[in-house]
Amino acid sequence: MSQVGCVVTHWIVGNEQDKGIPNAQSKNRIRNHMRRYSAFAIAREGARYHTGWERAWKSPEPKKRYDAIIVGAGGHGLATAYYLGKNHGIKNVAILEKGWLGGGNTGRNTTIIRSNYLQDPSAAIYEKARSLYETMSQDLNYNVMFSPRGVMMLAQTEHEIRGYERTAHANALQGVATEFISPQRVKELVPIINIHGPRYPVLGALWQPRGGTARHDAVAWGYARACSNMGMDIIQQCEVTGVRRDGDKVIGVDTTKGSIDCDKLGVVVAGHSGVLADMAGFRLPIESVALQALVSEPIKPCMDVVVMANTVHGYMSQSDKGEMVIGGGADGYNNYTQRGSFHHIEETVRALVETFPMISRLKMLRQWGGIVDMTGDRSPIISKTPVENMFINCGWGTGGFKAIPGSGWAMAELMAKGASPLADEFTMWRFGEGKFIDESVAAGVAH
């Protein structure tokens, strides 16, 4: 698949044009406005040896003060900044990232997008996100390779049949298009599957035809470029080391690049949310664990839907490069190690091999891990905090890639207006109040 989105143009005028070097005037214009990607731009650059592409986002030094600071340049942080600018006109924004943008879970996940959750608040935010994915490439002018190829969750026990039929009914009421399909239909959609497994035969599946995948890095890069284009500062290699308060109110952050003031602070750091909350002086009901995945060597196209098998605990899709992308489990103990381990490969492949016998002959190419932030009810937190003007977005656990645009939309609204209908139920105080949004079934397999 071609990726129009990975190319950028210089704005070249006057005498410098022949040399392909932007002059001072053109540099200013680059600073204020990036040119749109298009087939025409590719053809033009092809004709002049690709000398005119510009960097996709700027790398400025931090200013002394911003209207809003977002900590964490993962998908959720970048999307928050983007919708702050696009929907609410707040553009004096810095996004601070301790590593490189998209280098956290956003660049480590298995890219599954779906919205077939059980509870109404979840269906609302995940379906908002899924619908934004449908038009994200056009909205950002960046090819995020959204591929609505369909996602199925296999029912391999009687209990799962009841659970997924219930979800399909709930989704019908919520306006989320899903259906419960027969084993024969599963086989039609996934010819490589073995539906007669002796231990766990396939008894049906919850099918979401407009679920699918997107290119995870491209989602981060697309938002980053759009934020930079709005004049926002994305500052990489800039770790937040302290949260500065005046009484109960946030006034800025300390970073490895100095202190920066802000009116509002949004913390969107996934597995490090507890660390940032600690800096601000409060606790979060979050546990951090490593979640792992692996890919096989590339093979010819053999499966064009995403299949999740929650009972045996594994899921699989095929990437555009041909690799089988396989998701495994989370570590059974809290940790901050962003790496894979051998026993997870063995457990996950063993779990899937009965349902997909052909994977027993595949070579595995690489494995990795990311630090995910788990809440007790497996639902996220998008919330005000005990510190005035400090907001937190976390708890997406094993399944937040799919939520990025919806989460950013809601978090931006919460930061700009003090409330968001999409975020209302996801406060951090629901755990004390017993108002859980239980999604342990929908999040049954780590994805």
Ligand X SMILES: Cc1cc2nc3c(=O)[nH]c(=O)nc-3n(C[C@H](O)[C@H](O)[C@H](O)COP(=O)(O)OP(=O)(O)OC[C@H]3O[C@@H](n4cnc5c(N)ncnc54)[C@H](O)[C@@H]3O)c2cc1C
Residues that bind ligand X (CB under 6 A): 71-77, 96-99, 103-106, 108-112, 239-240, 268-270, 272, 291-293, 327, 370, 372, 396, 398-402, 447
Tell which residue, 275, 207, 205, has the closest CA to residue 240. 275
Give the burial class of 426: count Cβ atoms within 10 A of its Cβ; 0-12 exposed, 13-18 middle, 19 or more buried: buried
Taking the least distance from each CB to ligand X, the nearer of 66 and 401 is 401
- Nearest approach in angstroms of CB 268 to ligand X is 5
Taking the least distance from each CB to ligand X, the nearer of 22 and 408 is 408
- Nearest approach in angstroms of CB 80 to ligand X is 9
Calculate the CA 258 to chain-centre distance: 29
Taking the least distance from each CB to ligand X, the nearer of 85 and 103 is 103
| Cα distances (Å, whole numbers) of residue 346 to 314, 337, 351, 354, 361 | 11, 19, 8, 13, 14
For residue 261, the surrounding DSSP H or E stretch is: strand 258-267
Handedness of CA 63, 254, 393, 426 (dihedral sign): negative
Taking the least distance from each CB to ligand X, the nearer of 30 and 325 is 325
Q: Report which residue's Cβ sits closest to ligand X.
A: 74
Taking the least distance from each CB to ligand X, the nearer of 28 and 237 is 237
Taking the least distance from each CB to ligand X, the nearer of 5 and 266 is 266
List all residues 6 or more positions away from 124 whose beta carbon is below 8 Å from its beta carbon.
Answer: 174, 422
Taking the least distance from each CB to ligand X, the nearer of 186 and 446 is 446
How far is it, in rounded angstroms, from Cα 85 to Cα 152? 36
Return the CA Rg of the chain: 22
- Nearest approach in angstroms of CB 301 to ligand X is 20
Print the SS3 string covering 52-82.
CCCCCCCCCCCCCEEEEEEECCCHHHHHHHH
SS3 of residue 361 by DSSP: helix
Taking the least distance from each CB to ligand X, the nearer of 181 and 268 is 268
For residue 287, the surrounding DSSP H or E stretch is: strand 287-298
Question: DSSP strand E in 132-247: where?
Answer: 151-155, 179-181, 204-208, 212-213, 233-235, 240-246
Q: Are 398 and 314 in contact (CB under 8 A)?
A: no
- Nearest approach in angstroms of CB 41 to ligand X is 29
Taking the least distance from each CB to ligand X, the nearer of 213 and 229 is 213
- Nearest approach in angstroms of CB 335 to ligand X is 13
Taking the least distance from each CB to ligand X, the nearer of 85 and 327 is 327
The H-assigned helical ranges of 240-397 are: 273-280, 342-353
Phi and psi, residue 225, nearest 5°: -65, -40
Taking the least distance from each CB to ligand X, the nearer of 5 and 104 is 104
Phi-psi region of 49 (alpha: psi -120 to 50; beta: other; left: phi over 0): left
- Which residue type does 14 have? G
Q: Are 404 and 125 in contact (CB under 8 A)?
A: no
Checking DSSP bridges between strand 390-394 and strand 258-267, what pairing results, if any? Answer: parallel
- Nearest approach in angstroms of CB 397 to ligand X is 6
- Nearest approach in angstroms of CB 181 to ligand X is 21
How far is it, in rounded angstroms, from Cα 259 to Cα 385? 21
